[in-house]
Each structure stands twice: as C-alpha cells, then as structure tokens.
Structure 1
Amino acid sequence: MNYEIESIDKTFLSKGDVLVKIEYSSLNYKDMLGLQYKGGVIKDYPMIPGIDFVGTVESSVDKKFGKGDPVLVTGYDVGMTHTGGFSEYAQVPSNWLIPVPKGLSNKESMIYGTAGFTAALSIFELQKSGMSVDQQPEILVSGATGGVGSIAIQILNKIGYKNITALVRKNRQIKVAENLGAKQAIIMEDDNKPIKKEVFDYYLDTVGGDITMFGLKRLSYHGSATVCGNVAGNKLNANILPFILRGIKLIGIDSVYVDYKTRESIWKKLSEEWNIGGSLLYNEINFKEFDEIIRQLLNGEHIGRTILKI
C-alpha cells in the first residue's frame, strides 16, 4: 500500500465553493482499492483518498449553506480526482453536498456512508422492480456481513421483509448474518449447471464475480437482481438461460453519479422509515488504527462498517 499521513496546507485541496471541516469519514472497499498500486480508483496523484465524509460548513460562496451547517458527501469524484475525506478539511462544489437530514446525527450519517446509501439505493431499485412487503418474497443478499450487505439486511428487516437469506463465505459469518435479521444464512456451493431450481424472487448482490451468477440462476420467473460491487471480481461468467427462460432482470447500481433528487430521497428514507441508525454494526477508529482496517478490507476479513474520526 502506498500512502503516508502528512500535514499539508489548505491550498492543496481541490477547488470548490464550500469548505467543510470534516468530522467523520468511512472506510470502504473502494477506499482500499484506492490505496493500492494501480488500484484503478485514484486518477491523479498526489491525492487525499476518502470517498465520503460528513462535517460542518466552515465557509461557503454559495449562500445556500452557512457556517456550521451539517453536510455530507458520498460519491462524485471525491477521493478519486478530487481531494477526499481522509483529511481535516475538504473543499467541494456546493451541488455535491447533502444537508444531514433531521433524524440522523453526523456520526450516524457516516456509519451509513457510501455503503448505506448503496444498500438503500439497491432496495429502492428492487422495489421499483416489484418487490413488495405485502407479498413477502424470498430475498437473497450476498456479502451479508460486509458494509453494504449488513445494512441492506437490517433495512429489509426493519421495513417488514421476513424471508431474507444471507449468502456468506465462512461459517463464522452465519451467526452474524442471522443476528442482523436474516432468516437463514447459506455458504456458496455451486456446480456448472447453467440454471438451478427457482428459490429466490429477488437478489441483492454486493460482491460480483461468480457470486452474482449464483443468485441469478436461482431466481424465480420474472425475478430481479441488483449488483453493486466487485469484491469477488469484475467478470460475469454468465449464460443466457435464466434471462430467456425465466425473464429475469439484472439492474446495475451506481452510487457515484446518482442525481441530486434521488440522493435526497434516499437520505430521507434512511433518516425516517428506513432508519436503523441505532443498530448498525460498526466500529470507530482514528488514523493510528487505519492500517489494520485497510488490511482487513484487502483480505476480505472486514465485518460491518468502520468510521474514521478525524
């Protein structure tokens, strides 16, 4: 990993019309990739990583924001081509900022962070595709003890979905997933058959690779799936049978360039009817503990969410 912690001047920050004093950032799989040599995330060097953050406005050219306003950022080019959240300050365009919704503390908003926003966006898209509490469908969630998966299970459980199956990698993760709200947890075991027995109505995939196909070929007729991550790889070893024999849908989830109206709507849900802020699985660290969490993310050992107190 190629990074150092340094003291720098504010003139190093990327341009923006709002200066934010950062309180928390979070550590995501994408952040870990950004710290790897040729990780494919950071485009310009040197760069301050951190793809999300929450804090208070220090100064603003845009009169929409005043000093002390609590604001958050997820996505856009933060931590990639625009200096990000692993810093005491960030400077960003005002149209990237979301006011922290009432009902959420600054800390809770970053425990959600990019992972929580992505989980909620995935559920939002599945509901648009027909998923309804009234029907109590069978739902499969992969990466169930990771950042996105753990939050997705808790939100689904909170809003009334009962038939949630967690897809995990290791036996020790089964109990964790069940404690999060999954009815059951299974470990991926597969064969080379192109299509399997119909088991699940909806699939929220957070990891990609072969695990994506594991769920797709077990979807029921007219089932739908979302995919939002590539922890298990960015190649889909797919065949067309589940699509043409069962009419299933695969919906891609991009949380980086979501339009502002949708962002506000998702954050409103996270602060109100989808609010699980009091039960989120997380730990809080400072920069001294930073290396260990990055190692866990790299090795697939990280559970829940980690927030960085600036």
Structure 2
Amino acid sequence: MFKAILLQRAQDKSTLAQLQDLDDSQLPDRAVTVQVEYSTLNFKDALAITGRGAVVRQWPLVPGIDLAGVVHASSDPLWQPGQRVVVTGWELGERHWGGLGQRARVEADWLLALPPGLSTRDAMALGTAGFTAALCVMALRKHGLQAGDEVLVTGSAGGVGSIAIALLASLGYRVVASTGRPQESDYLRDLGAAEVIDRQPLGEPGKPLQAERWAGVVDTVGSHTLANACAQTRFHGAVAACGLAQGGDFPSTVMPFILRGVTLYGINSVFTPNDQRALAWALLAQHITPARLQSLTTEIGLSEAIAYAPRLLAGEVRGRTVVDVSR
C-alpha cells in the first residue's frame, strides 16, 4: 500500500481530491515502478487539484506533473532497481498518473537518470519549472545571445521565472525581473536580477512597436505582456514564450517580426526529446547550486498539498514548492 492524492470526478462534474491509501495493483500497467521521494506543486497541478482548469484528461487520476525517486522494479533492461531518476512532462498528471504519490509506474523512455551530484530533492526544487526555464535559456543561447546582453524575465517570482533569473545571471546576462509583487524585490535581486520593474505597464495594451530594449525575453505570462515584450525586443532579438498566466491570447501584430526580425520561440516542455532533456538538466546541475535552490524553495508534505493548491493559484507562493511524499 502507498499514499497518493487521488482525483475523482463527482456526478456534478466537480473535482474531488483526497489523500488515499492505494494498492500497487491500481497503478497503470507500465514498465518501470518508481519509489517516489519528492514531487512538486506546480500551477497546472493546482488547477487539477482544485478543478479550476481543464487539466485532467483521464479519471481517476493521481496529479503531479513531475517526480524524482528511485527505481523500485523494472521490466525494461535500461533501468535497474536502485537507480535515481527524474520524470517531467509526457502528460504526467494530465492523462497519466503522476508524482503526487509515494509510488508511480511509468514508461521506460520517460525516465532520465539524475545528473551526478543532484539529489532527488534538488531535482524537484528544479522540476518542470527549472527544466522549462533551461529550455528557454537554451533557445536564447542558440539564437546567439551573449553574456552581458539584457534579458527580461516576466512572471519572475514564480517557479519558472525564479530559476530563469538564477540561470541567466549565472551565465553572465543582465537580468531584468518583471513582477507584480514589489515585496519580492530583495528575493529577485538575490537570485541575480540587476533590476526589478513593475509588471503593470507590460500587462496593459500597448503599441505594436515600442522603444527597443531587450536582447532576449523569457515570458511566462502571455497575453498583453508577451505582446509588449515582443514590441520592445531589439533588432534580431529573441523571445522564449512558455506560459500563459495572464492569458492564452496574443494581442499583437506581425510588425516586431517583419520590421525588426524578432524571433518568437514557443517552449513545450512536455514532449521534449530525451537528448534535449539531458542537455537541459546538465545545464541546471552545472549552474544552479544547492544553496541557490534552497533560497527559492518551500517544502510541504503530501498531506498538505490539497490545502496548499489554492494559495498557489492566488499568487501567494513564490519560487518552487517541493512536496515530500513521505509525510
């Protein structure tokens, strides 16, 4: 038996989230069973637990879009009991049972071995948010951005934004953090932001072309914020878009793209090929220290996750929320 959060759909189509004791026989029929040590609570997980978004595709479901732990059993020769692994994406916590439980069963090709020196807790302090941030930074670096270039990070106090700031600063970029939480300015500067700006002007309707400023942008917000960020990006600059906290719309024109040659990269962390996953995790392991992770991480127990989810949706949580599934 193991404990897990189980989401079920009530007759009125509302979501019922409960911490339950489950049996291994209830796990999906897949190749590798993982003894989960840590998971995380992400925006998508909070939507699933509260039933406020159309996240869950299969009922009943154990939520949790990522996990880290130790291989318990495997029918695939690639993985042996005792190996330390991490899983993000692959529709975990949406269509497939996820990480907010003490045991999970996944496909062999969903797994990655943890980079040397990275604990399972550190892996989840990074988690899907860190992996997504790394993919954004990789896109900007591949585009040609150099150390010293000015990069805007929107939604900067959230999980992706926080790790993007720390990673970009470690690589030598001048990072400008946009936030609606001025009380987090010291936190953002400690992560490596050279400047903290109010998000409000970026979040309002703006002109299709504005004064050039950013060599690159990591946007976690979407909507008017993304449109304004593109309008302010310098000639031949790049914008990596990975979120829609403000909205899924894009009220812009083609002008930044055809008059300034701005490139907009869409970042999808769910179905990223494993060779790119390995590069992203190696980048994170090299540039984000355990001490830095500690400064941006809050830890809760599995028993606390259901009650904690509405706080995340309300914007009351900064950085990363790691879930210790043993308590």
TM-score by length of 2: 0.90
CA RMSD of aligned residues (A): 1.4
Q: Which has the higher strand share?
A: 2
Match in the other structure for 2:196:
185
Q: Identify the residue that residue 78 of structure 2 maps to in structure 1.
A: 64
Is contact 2:17–2:306 with CA below 8 Å preserved after alignment?
no
Q: CA deviation at 1:11?
A: 1.8
What residue in structure 1 maps to residue 297 of structure 2? 282
Give the counterpart of 1:270 among 279, 284, 287: 284
- Identify the residue that residue 74 of structure 1 maps to in structure 2: 88
The one-letter amino acid of 2:261's match is: G
Contact 1:70–1:99 (CA<8 Å) still a contact in 2? yes
Q: Quick check: 1:153–1:164 contact (8 Å CA) kept in 2?
A: yes
1:83 equivalent in alignment to 2:97? yes
Which one of 155, 161, 169 corresponds to residue 167 of structure 2?
155
Secondary structure in structure 1 of the residue aligned to 2:229: helix
The answer to whether the Cα contact below 8 Å between 2:206 and 2:224 also exists between their aligned partners in 1 is no
The Cα of 1:38 is off from its aligned counterpart by 6.0
Residues 213, 237 of structure 1: 8 Å contact kept: yes
Instruction: Give yes or no for contact 1:155–1:276 (8 Å, CA) kept in 2.
Output: no
> Who is 2:237 aligned against?
223
Matches within 5 A, 1:1-310: 2-37=16-51, 39-133=53-147, 136-161=148-173, 163-188=174-199, 189=201, 190=204, 192-272=206-286, 274-280=287-293, 281-310=296-325
Gaps of 5+ in 1: none
Greater alpha carbon shift after TM alignment, 10-19 vs 149-158? 10-19
Q: Aligned AA for 1:154?
A: A
Distance 2:230 2:308 in 1: 31
Structure 1 equivalent of residue 6 of structure 2: none
CA contact (8 A) 1:18 1:61 kept: yes
Check whether the contact 2:49–2:306 (CA below 8 A) recurs between aligned residues: no
CA contact (8 A) 1:148 1:206 kept: yes
For residues 139 and 290 of structure 2, the distance between their equivalents in structure 1, rounded to whole angstroms, comes to 21
Which has the higher mean CA deviation after the structures are superposed, 284-293 or 101-110?
284-293
Q: Which moved more, 1:107-116 or 1:182-191?
A: 182-191
Instruction: Give 5+ residue unaligned stretches, structure 2.
Output: 1-14
**CA deviation map 1:180-218 (0-9, x unaligned):** 110001012155322211111101101212111121111
Q: Aligned partners of 2:19 and 2:72: how far apart in 1?
A: 23
Asked if structure 2 preserves the Cα contact closer than 8 Å seen for 1:293 and 1:302, the reply is no
